[in-house]
Amino acid sequence: MTEESVPTVTEVVESWQLPAAAPVAARIRTNILAAIKQGFDDPQLVADLAVGPLVMALAQLEVGLAQAQRRIEVLERVVAEGAGDPR
């Protein structure tokens, strides 16, 4: 029976593939890695450290999407009125 290598918490976090255009996610990962280096390497603690910033990022995304939707609706009305289609 071969013994499979279990990755460390650091290896798992470092393996998270993030797009270059995702600075908030990169900052969260960097902060988690810094906490791990300080000895906070329990997987449950790492998950807990990630949840707060993720919820805050999600909240910002929700607000931004709602604002974008409102702007789209305004633009659609302007376009429709310009085309003689009052909405």
Q: Is residue 78 included in any domain, yes or no?
A: yes
HSE, CB side, 13 Å, CA atoms: give it for residue 38.
9
Q: Is residue 41 included in any domain, yes or no?
A: yes
Note the pTM of the prediction, 2 decimals.
Answer: 0.67
pLDDT digits over 19-62, tens only?
999 998 999 999 999 999 999 989 888 888 889 988 998 999 99
Q: Is residue 77 included in any domain, yes or no?
A: yes
Q: Is residue 30 included in any domain, yes or no?
A: yes
Whether the pLDDT of residue 1 is over 60: the answer is no
Residue 15: per-residue pLDDT: 95
Domain boundaries, position 72: 23-82
Q: Is residue 9 included in any domain, yes or no?
A: no
Mean pLDDT of 60-79: 96
Long-range pairs for 56-64 at CB < 8 Å and ≥24 separation? 57/24, 57/25, 57/28, 60/24
The count of domains in the chain is 1
Residue 47: per-residue pLDDT: 87
Residue 84: per-residue pLDDT: 72
Distances in whole angstroms, Cα of residue 5 to Cα of each of 2, 8, 11, 26: 9, 9, 12, 26
Q: Is residue 47 included in any domain, yes or no?
A: yes
